[in-house]
Structure 1
């Protein structure tokens, strides 16, 4: 059998995603002997700092695993596509496979003992809503202005444990916030860790656009490793690939950074693709959105057109204001 080593983070969700890759590869190529190699990344060990401290999600969750691929320790690596920097190329590496997209939307998770009626009765007033994503925080402040949005870190299952336990979230300056009454999380993440039943409310996509690539699992490998690229091509999903190309092209055009509240979501119906993208300020006060439909076989052109439309509406100013000083 052919040994095939896949790197991943140690979190429950990352392992579940990597195991799905292994299942699909084993079904496509039964002769593969797949080994999952677990990494504890900077973003996993530091549960206090904002991700910006480590260079955003790319630095926090991706960099260490990528180094292992470049040294030949791994054949491939699993990433959540939304965690991969979209406004820069990675020398010598390529995304060789994208799995079919899981549910892309965000959900509200309430602390045990609280009900959605409690939340709706007050319109979120007095509730502390935890998230680490600047996009989710901006949308939450826009949609739920009576709530208090707080910084909240951790893997999906860890965040829910902290939520139910009434734990405070430590802050980089030594202080703390919380406890949280609710969290905003990705539905796909909850499903991966077997906690889908904790979703109290699904935000409509039209109200809270997902992060670019949210719900898509990516498999990366060395660009020069043509045999690994051939193996991974057997599980590449063309619909997910086209949607990801369109969404990530928006990031290229906007030159967004890890602290930019940028969202984008593409769908395909027949031969047509519809792409919607938005840029917000962190307070949720300003909101710019653009939507276009075009040929599904020209996703990057569609992404470029949507990105340029956002720039024409003033997106560059919002992105620059959110840039770290």
Structure 2
């Protein structure tokens, strides 16, 4: 089985775990990892919007290889997979159990959390490329400057430690950053969990849709591959995947939309919270329902957000022609 993945340290670690689980579940299968250097990996300065958002930057080339029959499957971080567009011929064949979905604060050497708290971030610059994290950071730390900051997880921490400037799209620089907001799971996957100075609760900073879930995508009609991938599928994570991504579909969010969504399953019940926010508005909705009907729950939450005015916030963040 040929599995495609990006060349980043985190992606390779995630794909190696998939290969390990497949080999354990189906010992007769030979797993080959095929690496891709996507446009989102080669351009470490530009905004993802320039490349068609996360879908164009991180998954488009690998998806094309699946559809061309060059790969059996591909590993994606679920949060990098566009949820507001259909990809005919492809399906998520497996999701691994969810890693911690929360976001974390990473501080530059010499800066303590007490320093940060005492000043409430006044004068400090927080680096992030995620519009959702930037929007939450401005709500939590209005005295802070939030700056555009890109790169693989280990690259971002290295730039933070070395006080490097971040090149901006179209020229110029910004920085250096005093702190970063990153996914806890991503930091842990690249061996940098010890750098977490503070972990935000979902109430403080609602995670991105699908954050912490590793997805394996394959051709919808490739039933032999789908049967194999089903051996490593985590049903609870897959339910969350379906519910949270349905919110993106209903909202028709684009890559620059600050949309968050996080679900939990307890027994036969699922609870889903989603939000849409920018500098001028914040809308949130929470609902519970049968865990075995995740898309219905996601649709209900998405429609409630639209009823509260989410479309106007999304429109304000949509790039203008």
Q: What TM-score does the superposition give when structure 2 sets the normalisation length?
A: 0.99
Q: Is 1:305 paired with 2:300?
A: yes
1:223-282 deviation per Cα after TM superposition (whole angstroms, max 9, x unaligned): 12111111101011110011111111111111111100000000011111100000002x
CA distance in 2: counterparts of 1:17 and 1:209, whole angstroms: 23
Q: How many residues are aligned here?
A: 320
What is aligned with 1:293? 288
CA distance in 2: counterparts of 1:16 and 1:151, whole angstroms: 26
What is aligned with 2:18? 21
CA distance in 1: counterparts of 2:122 and 2:31, whole angstroms: 50
What is aligned with 2:124? 127
CA distance in 2: counterparts of 1:81 and 1:156, whole angstroms: 16
User: Which of 173, 176, 179 pairs up with 2:173?
Assistant: 176
CA distance in 1: counterparts of 2:70 and 2:267, whole angstroms: 42
User: Which of 296, 300, 319 pairs up with 2:314?
Assistant: 319
CA distance in 2: counterparts of 1:219 and 1:38, whole angstroms: 15
CA distance in 2: counterparts of 1:221 and 1:303, whole angstroms: 23
CA distance in 1: counterparts of 2:170 and 2:14, whole angstroms: 33
Q: Is 1:216 paired with 2:213?
A: yes
* Partner SS for 1:8: strand
Give the root-mean-square deviation of aligned CA atoms.
Answer: 0.7
CA distance in 2: counterparts of 1:215 and 1:133, whole angstroms: 15
1:51-110 deviation per Cα after TM superposition (whole angstroms, max 9, x unaligned): 000000000000011111111111110000000000111011111001100000000000
* Partner SS for 1:234: helix
CA distance in 1: counterparts of 2:229 and 2:135, whole angstroms: 36
What is aligned with 2:140? 143
Instruction: Note the residue ranges of structure 1 that are not aligned, 5 or more in a row.
Output: none
Instruction: Note the residue ranges of structure 2 that are not aligned, 5 or more in a row.
Output: none
What is aligned with 2:236? 239
Q: Is 1:252 paired with 2:249?
A: yes
Q: What TM-score does the superposition give when structure 1 sets the normalisation length?
A: 0.98
